[in-house]
Amino acid sequence: MKKLKDFAFIVVLNSVVLFGFHAQENPIDKKVQDLIAKMTLEEKVGQLFQVSGEEVTGPRGEKINITEYIKAGKVGSCLNIYGTKNVMRVQKAAIESSRLKIPLLFGLDVIHGYKTVFPAPIALASSWDPEIVRKAQKIAAKEMSSSGVMWTFTPMLDIARDPRWGRVVESFGEDPYLVSVMGRVSVEAFQGESFDKKDSVMATAKHYVGYGAVQAGREYYTVDISKRTLWEIYMPPFKAAVDTHVASVMPAFTTVNGVPMSANKELVNDVLREKWRFQGITVSDWNAIHELINHGVAENGADAAVQGINAGVDIDMVGGDYMNNLAALVKDNKVPVALVDKAVARILKKKFELGLFDNPYKYCDSEKEKEELLSSANREAAREIARESIVLLKNDNNILPLKMKDIKSVAVVGSLAESKRDIIGPWCGIGSEKDTISVLDAIKDVIPRGTVLNYQKGSEIEDNNESLVNAAVNAASKSDIIIAVLGESSEMSGEAASRSSIEIPEAQKTLLKWLSITGKPIVLVLMNGRPLDLSWEDKHIPAILETWFPGTEGGNAIADILFGKHNPSAKLPITFPKSLGQVPIAYNHLMCGRPATTETVTQKYVSKYLDIDNEPLYPFGYGLTYTAFSYSPIYLDKKEIKIGESLAASVVIKNTGKVDGKEVVQLYIRDMLASVARPIMDLKDFKKVSIKSGDSVKISFTITSDHLKFYNKDMEEIIEPGTFEVYIGTNSRDYQKESFKVVK
Ligand code: NOJ
């Protein structure tokens, strides 16, 4: 047994001071302090209050006259107010009528596009292409910033591992590394190089932290999370966002170790601010400070306000507990004014950095707004981005792309085929169905002349009847091929949209079963916001395309793939289980004492189910293409390294198919022996490459200390010498394998 402690290499974690200058050396800090000196206590508290416009994205509390509050200097920021005209009108109240003329911030949930809607985040992550995500977020930033909005409540960095949870759709999936990468590019895309730019807006890393771990996937429910899981799985994307200088962080509605995140001083103040040196604003989730009362940790609004401000939450979104109580609490010496001043300073600093004191209407540009929103370039980008986000799950006998010279008639079935609302998904900014291309529209557009198109709805999303089904079966029987567009409505995913079943809603599944009885080949085009249990479909349907919610140009993107204009290359950022009974089922589970391997699986006392095997239906990282790739064995340039050294791992990948394509090459590592149980593999890097038919490319990864460290029993990040296995492959199940040693 090796004496790990002797040669453990402690990775120095201490953060560096990010902005290496002191307050008094920064001209903005001076301006902030000068302004604070002029403010009354009530005006300070006003900066900490965020109000919502008429549109509500949470339970509505007390209704207030926003304009009157703004004029009295009692509001610091607004959400759900957008559009040049509206923002100008509201900003005007602050600038022309409030005593100190402090400009307001305008925030909105721009989650996957503002007016041009891009694929939902889970789909964006399926591209496994950070540049595609950057492109989408950059356009969203351009559109919103021309329309008065300078603050988005995105990216959502919650790790999503339970398909019942509706917010899987807003996430970048189950893996801390992939989520960190996509989160980082999102922050960079929104914020740009500096806030001087007109199209640089503030991003928000949310929901800090652990929200995705709600038990049984039930929204807003209990979170019980070990320190190890918290730090290894849930925290890294937030650390990555803070390191990318994200402007704001939103604590989650949920608890960690019994403490609601809106009152969690340990994680908000001590970790986020002190350990990680986060310099930006923290904004509560909708009414979350007030909900401390419902959590049973605050007696009343005043108590909730004390706990929120003490924890380090700067802005009270909508709830009003800061507005109603903080000034009195300060006067009664229950909250130090210094705490309020610090929160106010952070908010004012962002307002100065954004240039709002120089020009409060900087983001209001009606000409640019007209030009930018839904421009043809943005639409074209949306189509490209959607194509990159659609995952081909099954394609027996290369049924796709459709060989139209052999097809004389096509049946398109499913209400989602004609739906222009569902295809843009939940949290779709100000996107409108009026601007959307449905699957049916797009198919009509590209189907060759002379080919008969038989469209039948066949079913509503959650309801059907005999005549709908009969009409669809009839249309299907007359056709050479069926394109069934099925899945979830947009409302079945997102916030407050947990499901206890993860199957295609029964009404549509019944329809699909009837269609399959016709014996006609079926292409199942799925729209949904979470992994579904597709076990039946996988057995009976020859081709399955996971399109998630692909956005404004989703119909065209789907048609591009169906008809072979585009070769799909996306991969799953989250595991698809064989049944809900397997959940939770992330790919990087720990090694266990009685694993079920090929040799042991028939034995009784091993880790398995009696009625189903342990394997997922579609593993993390999985996705097909119209071509094929072969992988050479892995070549390591060194078989042994010292702690602190790096090595290169390479493979040669050949496109052995007939068409050009893209492959997502994935690098996983496993620590074979450590002082605590380690995952069977962890994603450490990936590269998306284009390879022409018949060509080969060499792909190399550099494996560094960063890829080998983990938290030991004392939660120190260390590297322990020993053997590491390296896997490079096309998904987390199919790969080449090698190993190397780390010595002291
Ligand atoms: C509640 C959601 O949890 C959060 O993500 C969103 O930003 C706010 N509502 C504002 O709409």
pLDDT per residue as tens digits for the range 20-47: 444 456 899 999 999 999 999 999 999 9
Q: How far is the CA of 169 from the centre of ligand 1 (A)?
A: 14
Which of the four pLDDT bands, split at 50, 70 and 90, describes residue 63? Answer: confident
What is the residue-averaged pLDDT of the chain? 95
pLDDT of residue 716: 98
Mean pLDDT across the stretch 523-535? 98
Does the domain at residues 629-743 carry the CATH identifier 3.30.429.10? Answer: no
Q: Give the separation between CA 676 and CA 716, rounded to whole angstroms.
A: 12
Q: How far is the CA of 147 from the centre of ligand 1 (A)?
A: 20
Residue of 129, 285, 314, 671 with catalytic role: 285
Which residue intervals of 165-235 are DSSP H helices?
176-191, 227-229
High-pLDDT (> 90) share of the chain, %: 95
pLDDT at 13 over 50: no
pLDDT at 16 over 70: no
pLDDT of residue 64: 86
Which of the four pLDDT bands, split at 50, 70 and 90, describes residue 369? Answer: very high
pLDDT at 17 over 90: no
pLDDT of residue 371: 97
Q: Whose CA is nearest to atom 7 of ligand 1?
A: 153
pTM above 0.85, yes or no: yes
Q: How far is the CA of 318 from the centre of ligand 1 (A)?
A: 11
pLDDT of residue 57: 66
- For ligand 1, pick from 202, 206, 286, 290 the residue to mutate: most ligand atoms within 8 Å of CB: 286
Distances (CA, A) of 329 to 43, 69, 307, 310, 591: 15, 20, 12, 12, 51
Annotate 514-553 with b (16+ C-beta within 10 A) or e (fewer).
bbbebebbbbbbbbbbbbbbbeebbeebbbbbbbbbbbbb
- Structurally, what CATH architecture does the domain formed by 49-368 represent? Alpha-Beta Barrel (3.20)
Mean pLDDT across the stretch 246-274? 98
Could you tell me the fold of the domain covering 380-582? Rossmann fold (3.40.50)
pLDDT at 290 over 80: yes
pLDDT of residue 388: 98
pLDDT of residue 60: 66
pLDDT at 647 over 80: yes
pLDDT at 15 over 50: no
Helix 466-477 crosses helix 506-517 at what angle (to 10 degrees)?
A: 30
pLDDT at 92 over 90: yes
Which of the four pLDDT bands, split at 50, 70 and 90, describes residue 408? Answer: very high
pLDDT of residue 19: 39
* pLDDT tens column, 518-527: 999 999 999 9
285 is catalytic: yes
Q: Give the separation between CA 121 and CA 117, rounded to whole angstroms.
A: 11
Residues with CB under 6 A from ligand 1: 57-58, 79, 109, 153, 206, 285-286, 495
Report yes or no: 656 and 629 within 8 Å, Cβ to Cβ: yes
Burial, 123: exposed, middle or buried (Cβ in 10 Å; 0-12, 13-18, 19+)?
Answer: buried
Mean pLDDT across the stretch 710-716? 98
The minimum-distance atom of ligand 1 relative to the CA of 253 is: 3
Q: What angle do CA 579, 168, 192 make, to 5 degrees?
A: 150
The number of C-alpha atoms within 13 Å of 111 and in the hemisphere containing its C-beta is 26
Q: How far is the CA of 287 from the centre of ligand 1 (A)?
A: 10
